[in-house]
Amino acid sequence: MVKMRGYNSADEQNPCFVSSYDDFERERQFEIDIRLSKGLEVKRMLEDGNCLFRAVTDQVYGDSEMYDLARQMCVDYMEKERDHFSQFITEGFTSYCKRKRRDKVYGNNVEIQALSEMYNRPILIYTYSTEPINIGSYNTDTPPIQLSYHHGNHYNSLVNPRRSTIGAGLGFSCLQGVSRCG
C-alpha cells in the first residue's frame, strides 16, 4: 500500500498481523502478565481499522459494534473543539476529519484524546507492559478506559471480569459502572 503524504500517522497504511513466533510469544506473555498483575483480560477486537473505536465502545457501551457511533461523536467533538485539536493535525483539519469519519480508517492519539475528553474518562494504554501510558487526567470518579496496543497499530479492550465499567462516563449519576447501579 502506498503511504500518503501529510497523513498524521503512518499506521493507517500498515496492516496489523502477527508475523513470527517471537511476536506470538510476546502477545501470549503480555496476556499472562496483564492478567497476573492487574487482573485484566485482553478482549480481542477485529483488526479492521475500527479497533480503537471498537475497544472504547466495548468498555463504554458494552458493545464493540457501536464503534461507528463513537467514531462520529469523536469527530463531531474534534470539530467542535477545532481550535484545540487542529494544533495536533499535520494536514488540513477539514480533510483529516472527513477521512476519520470513514469506516475502517484507523484512530490514533488525537482521537484517543478526544474520546477521553468526550467520556470524561482517562484512557490507560498498555503496550506490552503492565505499566500504562495515561491519556487525560480528569477530576472524575469514573474508571479509566483500558486498552492494549499491539503491533504498532492495533487496539484491544482490557476488561476486568470482576468489575464492569459499562456505562461509566455517559453522564448518568448512577452509572459508575453497571455493577454499582440500581
Q: Which of 23, 48, 63, 103 is catalytic?
A: 48
Question: Is 48 annotated in the active site?
Answer: yes
Cell triple for residue 164? 464492569
HSE-up of 53 (CA within 13 Å, CB side)? Answer: 24
Q: Which of 58, 97, 150, 154 is catalytic?
A: 154
Question: Is 84 annotated in the active site?
Answer: no
Nearest Cα residue to 162 out of 65, 64, 38, 66: 38
Q: CA–CA separation, 40 vs 61, rounded Å?
A: 18
Nearest Cα residue to 150 out of 171, 129, 131: 129
- Which helix (H) or strand (E) segment holds residue 156: the answer is strand 154-159
Q: CA–CA separation, 38 vs 137, rounded Å?
A: 20
> Is residue 51 a contact partner of residue 14, using CB atoms and an 8 Å limit?
no
Q: Which of 11, 22, 51, 84 is catalytic?
A: 51
- The residues, any chain, with a CB within 8 Å of residue 53's CB and separated by 6 or more, are 67, 68, 70, 71, 74, 107, 111
Question: Could you list the active site residues?
Answer: 48, 51, 154
